[in-house]
Copies of this chain bind each other. A is one copy, B any other.
């Protein structure tokens, strides 16, 4: 059995602590929303001073970045629980529904990731990569559909982005209070999904 050096042990302790801090922040995020995620609140929950957090993360953005990745993992997990279907239309609908449900069930994560809740956080390369990983299942099915000739496009990523942007538009207008009721928003979402499927799966039928 390999013995950990002192430095390694220290590093592991730091990593564990870091993860605990992220989890504490995630709890606050989901229970009380993005505004409640402050360094002091997280430090209180961890029963430590703010200095420790600043020792492990450069600044608040460093913590937000990990929360972003955590959110991507949640989204990715949701997508992975969608069972593949023979019928491409149903499969696509399920994936869209999963994205919609994610925004509803993880409002805090959604606002942090895509809602711009932390206005001085901009996703860097790492965040973008995590996002693409989360959307991978989406990208794969579109790639497949293109290969099977079901979709007349050449760039799957572009197609996914069009779908993503449309769904996000509805969700974000709702979260911003521009769509007043959830029923109206859901109705808009349904129409949008139907339109997208019509556009991409039946373009030349």
Contact = CB atoms under 8 A, between A and B. Distances in A.
A54 interface: no
B195 A199 contact: yes
A195 B34 CA distance: 35
Give the interface residue-count category, chain A. 35 or more
A35 B120 CA distance: 9
Contacts of A161: 173, 179, 184, 188
Q: Which residue, A115, A158, A168, A179, has most C-beta atoms of chain B within 10 A?
A: A168
A191 B161 CA distance: 10
A187 B157 CA distance: 12
Given A115-B116, A191-B158, A199-B199, A131 B178 contact: yes
A122 interface: yes
A136 interface: no
Given A166-B169, A168-B169, A198-B199, A123 B177 contact: yes
B158 A168 contact: no
Nearest to A35: B119
Contact of A169 (B34, B116, B165): B165
A119 B177 CA distance: 11
A168 B191 CA distance: 16
7 contacts: A114-B173, A115-B116, A116-B172, A161-B173, A165-B166, A169-B169, A169-B170
